[in-house]
């Protein structure tokens, strides 16, 4: 797994940011997530980290180790702490022998109306 992907999110700050993912190699074979850690940082355009989602804090949950599947969930209560704007993010996968960036991207966040 040497390539990383571009992931774009569009969300409002009054809703959960929830999305499932499946990692595969070039041949479509699932990448094992056994004994891995996943961490995504969300930063504003000045580079200040605003949120973290990780397997350590429970906002990234591995749903199938052998299937390479995981779910990202940032609850509405945390999204509400962010002002409207554009944010940058990336996801890092760490094993005992390597650390790899699996994606980079942006989050376009709008102000939610219904509170």
* Under 8 Å between Cβ of 42 and 48: no
What's domain 5-110's superfamily in CATH?
Immunoglobulins (2.60.40.10)
pLDDT, residue 4, reads 77
SS3 of 44, please? Answer: strand
- DSSP run (H or E) holding 45: none
Rounded to an integer, the average pLDDT of 75-87 is: 97
Model confidence pLDDT, tens digit, residues 3-34: 578 999 999 999 999 999 999 988 999 999 99
Rounded to an integer, the average pLDDT of 90-98 is: 96
């Amino acid at each position: 797994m040497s390539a990383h992907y571009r992931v774009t999110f569009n969300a409002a700050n009054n809703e959960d940011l929830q999305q499932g993912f499946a990692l595969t190699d070039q041949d479509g074979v699932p990448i094992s997530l056994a004994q891995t850690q996943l961490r995504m940082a969300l930063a504003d355009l000045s580079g200040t980290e605003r949120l973290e989602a990780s397997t350590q804090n429970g906002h990234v949950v591995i749903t199938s180790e052998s299937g390479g599947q995981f779910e990202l969930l940032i609850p509405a209560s945390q999204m509400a702490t962010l002002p409207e704007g554009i944010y940058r993010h990336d996801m890092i996968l760490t094993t005992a022998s390597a650390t790899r960036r699996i994606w980079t991207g942006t989050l376009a966040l709008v102000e939610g109306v219904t509170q």
